[in-house]
Amino acid sequence: MSKERDAAIVGIYEYPLRSVDGEVSALQIKAECAARALEDAGLTWQDVDGIYDAGDGGGMAGLNISEYLGIHPTVIDTTGVGGSSYEFHAAHARRDIAAGKTRVALLTYGSTAHSSARAIGVGGRPGGGMHPADNMDGFAGMTLISNYAMVAHRHMYQFGTTSEQLAEIPVATRLHAMRNPEAVAAMEDLEFLDIRETTISDVVNSRMIADPLHLLECCMISDGGGAVVIASPEVVRDCRKPPVWIIGTGEATQYPQIGGDITVSAGAQSAPIAFGEAGVSASEMDIAMIYDSFSITVLTLLEDLGFCAKGEGGAWVEGGRLRFDRPADGPALNTDGGGLSSNHPGMRGIFLLIEAARQLRGESCSQVTDARLAVAHGNGGMLGSRHTGGTIIMARD
């Protein structure tokens, strides 16, 4: 394992509500989460000298959030690469801290996607104008979920993967969600029907949304937000909670290419970099916080992160091995309930960092005994099309 200990997560906070009914804005969610995360760390606003923002609170991201929070940062990073932005931010914060550019980095996220009734998965593609997708595939009317369904079909055709195997993923995350009071409240607030642990049969018999993906294989659309504080070793010594060290990072981009394989994600490039830097392997991970926009997202990423070979994911996840109470099988998947059953306000990457940190602190609702290593992997954009992958390896002392 890497002996480098040059930056650690020292403060975390997750906004508890998944439906705010228009009573607060995305900026207000970000500010409250930031204040609570700093309190969790035992730090103040005056300690923050690095801002990392993906523009979720409005335009001119770095400028606006600095003024709104009353901070004068010496580092402003506004990398926006979709749901993996926060893994990129964590990597950049570690790099900036190691370079002496900042001592306390603040990552924030806030969204009112549910209250704003955004058609994230089934609406048309956002934007327009001069973009490669406009003359390649945008004209065909592809929605976001149709890209993931296309990958699922290809995985089934190429490797014999079944719907029952894909169903293992939402079954495991729902088990974890039912142990998380905030996730249960989320499902109630978002008017889920028959809130309970689910079975393989429940998943494959739920309504088809985009063949072959069923309703229970699709993430919820919620409001929400969170914040993460990352600090230098000098600051860590005086923080309130035990540090969660960032020991390896990797970033990558993938897009449609002639002869490309849409079942291979950007994680196949970012993961080896992160694991190599950390000096550990996927098989050593106790926790896997993996972006779960859909079941197929997780399956392909488990393969690309190195938990199993490409095409073997279906068989590998069988038998409930992703549950928190199966540590010998490992890793425990999305122990907060994930985007499938806890929250998904549009970009979920920050929650992967938050729950991984909880686990390594021993604070999770589905706590893995003696968890020491975790991977958080964000997927931004659209699997099967242009997207990014950000891999973060974390360790406790």
Interval 75-125: pLDDT, tens:
999 999 999 999 999 999 999 999 999 999 999 999 999 998 876 766 555
- Largest separation between any pair of C-alpha atoms in the chain: 56
How far apart (Å, rounded) are the C-alpha atoms in residues 97 and 6? 7
CA distances from 308 to 250, 313, 330 (A): 19, 6, 12
Q: Is residue 275 part of a domain?
A: yes
Q: Which two tokens stand for residue 319?
A: 């038998």
What range does the domain containing 311 cover?
Answer: 8-116+221-396
* Structure confidence at residue 139 (pLDDT): 60
Cβ-Cβ contacts under 8 Å for 261 (sequence gap 6 or more): none
**Which CATH number fits the domain that encloses residue 300?**
3.40.47.10
How far apart (Å, rounded) are the C-alpha atoms in residues 334 and 287? 8
DSSP 91-150: HHHHHHHHTTS-SEEEEEEEE-TTTTT--TTTSPPS--SS-HHHHHTGGGT--HHHHHHH
Q: Which two tokens stand for residue 346?
A: 């549009």
Interval 317-370: pLDDT, tens:
999 999 999 988 889 999 999 999 999 999 999 999 999 999 999 999 999 999
Q: What angle do CA 377, 17, 322 make, to 5 degrees?
A: 35
Q: Is residue 249 part of a domain?
A: yes
Q: Collect the ranges in the chain with pLDDT lower than 50.
A: none
Q: Is residue 342 part of a domain?
A: yes
* Structure confidence at residue 12 (pLDDT): 98
Q: Is residue 32 part of a domain?
A: yes
Cα 112 to chain centroid distance, Å, stands at: 17
CA distances from 136 to 128, 140, 142, 282, 396 (A): 13, 9, 11, 36, 45
How many structural domains comprise the chain? 1
**Helix or strand run (H / E) with residue 344:** none
Q: What angle do CA 389, 323, 3 make, to 5 degrees?
A: 55
Q: Phi and psi dihedrals of 269, rounded to 5? A: -95, -40
Q: Is residue 189 part of a domain?
A: no
Q: Is residue 277 part of a domain?
A: yes
Q: Is residue 99 part of a domain?
A: yes
Q: Is residue 231 part of a domain?
A: yes
* Structure confidence at residue 58 (pLDDT): 74
Cβ-contact 281, 397 below 8 angstroms: no
* Structure confidence at residue 257 (pLDDT): 86
